[in-house]
Chain A
Amino acid sequence: MPELTYREAVRDAIATVMREDDSVFIMGEDIAEMGGSMGVTQGLLEEFGAERVRNTPISEMAIVGAGIGAAMAGMRPIVEIMYEDFLTLSLEQIVNQAAKHRYMSGGQLTVPLTIRTQGGAGWSPGAQHAQQLEAWLVHVPGLKVLYPSTPEDVRGMFVTAVRDDNPVLFFEHRLLYPVKGAVPEQIEPIPIGKCRVLREGTDVTVIAIGPLVHKALEAATLAEAEGISVEVVDPRTLQPLDEAGLVASVKKTNRAVVAHEAVTRMGFGAEVAAVLQHQAFDWLDAPVERVGAKFAPLAFAPVMEQFVVPQVADLLAAIRRTVGKG
């Protein structure tokens, strides 16, 4: 199998859907000549031209809103919001418009729009360039929310997102872009709403998303040395959630840790914990542990930033607690 970085995998997926479907175009800030602030869209302008690879003004409401209108008029736009912190500027269009046109029209309309964005800590940009805001979006009926963590998944899920007839929020993580991984020769579309077991284990399931998947795999290796067998599961799709897949894993291991980089309180993990306690109550041998960022904005000073966001040690500690070794 060939290897791609997460960045190359996203780029390959964008190019693939653009080659196969003329109604797909991409727009966003600095995505054309510059190739995007993360370099994801490099080379697309040269291949597809300026009509289909469009630099926009700094204008998040219009970027998303124009995507919505183009989608309603028969296109399949991809829009890039440079940082998910800036997604907040376009939330009205996402929450009140994209998510609701199909519903309010009684099923007359579809909005096949893919909104790509990225975020994540670990490089000290401060409080406005690294937030993880996926929990804001999973709360809105009408939106699908994807957050793949590996090159294979990001590539396979992106093509599915663009081909889907619903508005899809597609979260990428800044620190994952250089991560390499094996990918199939040809893109294999990955269905929305299916979790992935990345490592099998018997004592505790760590349900992790984004960069925490990789940290969970590290923690699992460390736990193994202590005699704890850890299963690592990535939901990949946050909305709709593969409840059955997550519950099945926890029924096998009888313990669960839920992990994300976003703040723990009111986070995505809270919903997962609620699902597990309700559907696997009789199987649980320990309280569901949650790992996430402390309840503070992201500080600039690296030492403070690293303190706030969850680390491998935090995961290992949570794993130990579930097996009574805390």
Chain B
Amino acid sequence: MAKVEKKRALNDETLREFLREMLLIRRFEERVEERFRAGDLPGFLHVAIGEEAADVGVCQAMAEGDVFASTHRAHGHTLARGTHPDAVMAELYGKIEGCSHGYGGSMHLYDVERGNLGANAVIGGGLPAMTGAGLAFKLRDEPRVAVAFFGDGATNIGTFHESLNLAQLWQTKTVFVCQNNHWAESTPGWQHSPVWDDMSKRALAFDMRAIKVDGQDVEAVYDAAKEALDYARSGAGPVFLDVETVRMHGHFIGDPQVYRTKEDRALAAGNDPIERLRARLEVDDAEFEELDREVQGVVEAALLFAQNGTDPQPEDALKNVYA
């Protein structure tokens, strides 16, 4: 029997762009961590270090006109959908030039022009809206998809179940992307869900199509996301995309992770999606360092842009309450 090679949709050039995007997100978040620890950044920040392949793979598979709702861990999704690092960093600094003009912060990044209908700080808070946006696209017969990002922790909240039920019932143009990093803050998957090691089982209860993918392999994530998005876009129904991934850092910046074993942290560190893609593309040290310098330059420019941004006036707080 002939061995069947899975057809790959992406060429090396595209994958190198993905590598750059993933590295940009990594360096961006590392710098954000560093600035937060230095006391330069206000607020409550969560990085997605380790989940860059999941972020980039799905976001790159999305099309113009698609919309999404993100979570408290939103820097990666926002950057990967094309919001300029300057605008994201400026938002983290609470500046007018920020992508939410200083009204949102790290947990509420928006960029409506690029389909970002909001990062949500309430676990599961964005799923019903993506069901409704997917319904709107269906009612207007538009080739657009609404994507809801969330983690495994969100699969236990009512909005998750109500949204999947309604989406499947009404065949909305929605893709539910579960980034299963096996942690709900400090609570491991096995303590919060009976199906923690296979979240795709959640879709069975709603008779929804599920696709399971290794979230550390950006190529595989892209392929799976493309399949899910095409399916939803065609009107065939919503899809549950189960992306197995790894949270390499704590829940929030400054989380001492006392609840996590050294072995688990080492395991996560050894499952770095950037290293994996680099090996796959056989990027040598010289090329990698050049790429790294370039993205670090972008991050430094974003930092400078943000630090020199415009502070809102205090009374601007009273604007935008109503349309």
Question: CB within 8 Å of B: which residues of A?
Answer: 25, 51, 54, 56-57, 59, 61-62, 64-75, 77, 92-93, 96-97, 101-110, 112, 141-142, 144, 164-166
Q: Check A62 against B165 for contact (C-beta < 8 Å).
A: yes
A132–B158 Cα distance when bound, in Å, is 25
Chain B residues with Cβ under 8 A from A105's Cβ?
A: 100, 103-104, 108, 110, 112, 118, 320
Q: Check A70 against B112 for contact (C-beta < 8 Å).
A: no
- Given contacts A70-B136, A73-B133, whether A61 and B128 have CB atoms under 8 Å apart is yes
From B108, B118, B129, B319, contact of A66 by CB (8 A): B129
From A67, A73, A141, name the one whose CB has the most chain B CB atoms within 10 angstroms.
Answer: A73
Chain B residues with Cβ under 8 A from A107's Cβ?
A: 101, 103, 319-320
Nearest CB of B to A191, in Å: 14
Q: Check A73 against B67 for contact (C-beta < 8 Å).
A: yes
Q: Check B322 against A65 for contact (C-beta < 8 Å).
A: no
- Given contacts A70-B135, A109-B117, whether A103 and B128 have CB atoms under 8 Å apart is no
From A56, A68, A92, A103, contact of B321 by CB (8 A): A103
A282–B170 Cα distance when bound, in Å, is 59
From B122, B136, B162, B321, contact of A62 by CB (8 A): B162
Q: Check B132 against A73 for contact (C-beta < 8 Å).
A: yes
Chain A residues with Cβ under 8 A from B113's Cβ?
A: 108
A141–B104 Cα distance when bound, in Å, is 16
- Given contacts A62-B131, A166-B323, whether A104 and B139 have CB atoms under 8 Å apart is no
Q: Check A92 against B122 for contact (C-beta < 8 Å).
A: yes
A74–B133 Cα distance when bound, in Å, is 9
Chain A residues with Cβ under 8 A from B130's Cβ?
A: 69
Chain A residues with Cβ under 8 A from B127's Cβ?
A: 65
A70–B162 Cα distance when bound, in Å, is 16
- Given contacts A105-B118, A107-B319, A166-B323, whether A69 and B136 have CB atoms under 8 Å apart is yes
- The interface residues of chain A, by DSSP majority, are classed as mixed
Chain A residues with Cβ under 8 A from B112's Cβ?
A: 105, 108-109
Chain A residues with Cβ under 8 A from B131's Cβ?
A: 62, 65-66, 69
Chain B residues with Cβ under 8 A from A92's Cβ?
A: 122, 125, 159
Residue of B nearest to A113 (CB): B132
Q: Check B162 against A59 for contact (C-beta < 8 Å).
A: yes
Q: Check B159 against A165 for contact (C-beta < 8 Å).
A: no
Knowing that A69-B131, A73-B146 are A-B contacts, what are 16 other residue pairs whose CB atoms are under 8 Å apart, sorted by A's residue number?
A62-B128, A65-B163, A70-B133, A70-B135, A72-B117, A73-B132, A73-B136, A93-B128, A96-B125, A97-B128, A102-B322, A104-B103, A106-B98, A109-B117, A141-B321, A165-B323
Q: Check A101 against B118 for contact (C-beta < 8 Å).
A: yes
Q: Check A69 against B132 for contact (C-beta < 8 Å).
A: yes
Residue of B nearest to A143 (CB): B322
Instruction: Kindly list the 8 A-B residue pairs having the minimum CB-CB distance in the complex, ordered from nearest.
Output: A65-B128, A69-B132, A106-B101, A69-B129, A66-B132, A62-B162, A165-B323, A73-B136
Nearest CB of B to A249, in Å: 25
Contact with A along B152-163 (1 / 0, CB 8 A): 000000110011
**A-B pair number, CB within 8 angstroms:** 144
Q: Check B128 against A142 for contact (C-beta < 8 Å).
A: no
Nearest CB of B to A93, in Å: 6
Chain B residues with Cβ under 8 A from A74's Cβ?
A: 136, 140
From B110, B117, B132, B146, contact of A106 by CB (8 A): B110
Question: CB of B169 within 8 A of chain A?
Answer: yes
Question: CB of B166 within 8 A of chain A?
Answer: yes
Q: Check A104 against B118 for contact (C-beta < 8 Å).
A: yes
Chain A residues with Cβ under 8 A from B67's Cβ?
A: 72-73
Question: CB of B102 within 8 A of chain A?
Answer: yes
Question: CB of B137 within 8 A of chain A?
Answer: yes
From A57, A65, A103, A166, contact of B129 by CB (8 A): A65
Q: Check B132 against A67 for contact (C-beta < 8 Å).
A: yes
A64–B139 Cα distance when bound, in Å, is 17
- Given contacts A104-B104, A109-B118, whether A61 and B321 have CB atoms under 8 Å apart is no
From B100, B120, B136, contact of A75 by CB (8 A): B136
A59–B112 Cα distance when bound, in Å, is 28
Chain B residues with Cβ under 8 A from A103's Cβ?
A: 103, 320-321
A123–B185 Cα distance when bound, in Å, is 47
Nearest CB of B to A227, in Å: 44
Residue of B nearest to A108 (CB): B112
From A51, A64, A109, A142, contact of B322 by CB (8 A): A142
Q: Check B320 against A106 for contact (C-beta < 8 Å).
A: yes
